[in-house]
Structure 1
Amino acid sequence: MRDEGRDTTAAEYNPEISLWRRVLILEHAEIWIKPGQQADFEAAIIQGLQTVMSRAVGMRGYKLHKCVESPERYVMQISWNTVDDHMVTYRQGPLSPKFRAMVEPFFAQPPVMQHFELLTKDGPDAEDARN
């Protein structure tokens, strides 16, 4: 994971940092895969999201986007109740290694991941933006 220009890992996670304790968190991961493996990667990550990630405590939903201009580039967005649900419960639990085993062989480089909280929203479900 990258945070303010430095690499961080679950082992460095500090639950006392108030920024990381906020609720309704979006995990944003930028993924680059090895050329020519799009179909196999897409099958593997979709299966992993549906069968493994969907069972994670605190996981509220996910989106996977494929880049139009760069076919080896993807953006995965996972909504969590809290950063703790992702960085502690999920990362230190049995589901994380299962999911990573399914998708990691396709990575051209380690994904860049950060957490975001919603600032503002527009659209049909905007009234749910802070609920």
Structure 2
Amino acid sequence: MVIEYIRYRVPQQRRAGFEAAYERAADALRAAPECVDYELSRCLDDPACYALRITWTSVDAHLDGFRGGPVFGRFFAAIKPYVADIEEMRHYTRTGVRGPGGAAPPSLFEWAGGTDAFERLCAAFYRLVRSDDLLAPMFARMDPDHARYVAVWLAEVFGGPATYAAERGGYRQMVGQHLGRAISEAQRRRWVNLMTDAADEVGLPGDPEFRAAFVGYLEWGTRLAVRNSQPDADPIQQAPVPRWGWGVAPPYQHGPQSTVARGAE
């Protein structure tokens, strides 16, 4: 993805019309498959200055797809009277220098209790698995360190250190654990149920906000794991380790319109 910044200097007598024009232009951005999101900001120190941020899926998607597409005419018609007020219009890419500040809410990893909480969770979960008729055969040849590996994966997914990516091979390794296993829907549901039972047993936070996010990931990840495990599956082998927050994780885009399936072990 790329970020386009357009900086305007708009005289006071034209500001109301300018903001109204972008309200109309926003309809085109919302309809454009090349546009991820957008935001128009006004400077508090110098109210004549505006900054428009638009995230595009790529530079080509913006310059060729959007500008050559069916909604650009509506967009440009709305903002055309203000083109002369543009001071800068450039594309940017994100760097690795970013992260939450002190006012940000704690990560799910922190809220759960850190690495120790996920290690206790997985130890309890796999103890339940070993006595479960449906799941025990799936894990009969489980590596002695399997529970710890899954704890490290979950810790990273929920906002903890990127240990699984650094030491275990990241997403590719996780996908490989599911290939050819033909996981059934009944097994998937039992996995989710036992994981939530384990969460209760070890005392993971029970507040609705945490549990909604926690179970949301379990549902999302296990459904993708089922898909990736089928005999005819052809999952993407390279993708980031998902990072799950208090809301819904965005899909990982591979190509113009396809969503990559990512799973949980």
Whether these two folds match at TM > 0.5 is yes
Matches of 1:62 and 1:77, distance apart in 2: 5
Note if contact 1:34-1:107 (Cα within 8 Å) is conserved in structure 2.
no
Q: Please state if 1:122 is matched with 2:99.
A: yes
Note if contact 1:66-1:73 (Cα within 8 Å) is conserved in structure 2.
yes
Matched residue, 2:59: 83
Instruction: Name which of structure 1's ranges 26-35 and 102-111 shifts more when overlaid on structure 2.
Output: 102-111
- Against the structure 1 CA distance between its residues 70 and 108, is the aligned structure 2 distance closer, same or farther, given a 3 Å change threshold? farther
Q: Please state if 1:97 is matched with 2:73.
A: yes
For the aligned residues, what is the CA RMSD? 2.3
Matches of 2:54 and 2:29, distance apart in 1: 9
Q: TM-score by structure 2 length?
A: 0.36
Q: Per-residue deviation at 1:91? A: 1.2
User: Aligned letter for 1:26?
Assistant: I
Q: TM-score by structure 1 length?
A: 0.68
The structure number with the bigger radius of gyration is 2
Q: Per-residue deviation at 1:107? A: 4.2
Pairing partner for 2:4 from 2, 5, 27 = 27
Note if contact 1:33-1:109 (Cα within 8 Å) is conserved in structure 2.
yes
- Higher normalized helix content (fraction of residues): 2
Note if contact 2:34-2:56 (Cα within 8 Å) is conserved in structure 1.
yes
User: Aligned letter for 1:30?
Assistant: R
| Larger RCO, structures 1/2 (Cα 8 Å, 6+ apart) | 1
Q: Which runs of 5+ in 1 are unaligned?
A: 1-23
- Higher normalized strand content (fraction of residues): 1
Aligned residues: 105
Note if contact 1:32-1:111 (Cα within 8 Å) is conserved in structure 2.
yes
Q: Per-residue deviation at 1:87? A: 0.7
Provide the secondary structure at the position in 1 that maps to 2:12: coil
- Against the structure 1 CA distance between its residues 71 and 107, is the aligned structure 2 distance closer, same or farther, given a 3 Å change threshold? farther
Q: Percent identity?
A: 25
Provide the secondary structure at the position in 2 that maps to 1:52: helix
Matches of 1:111 and 1:56, distance apart in 2: 25
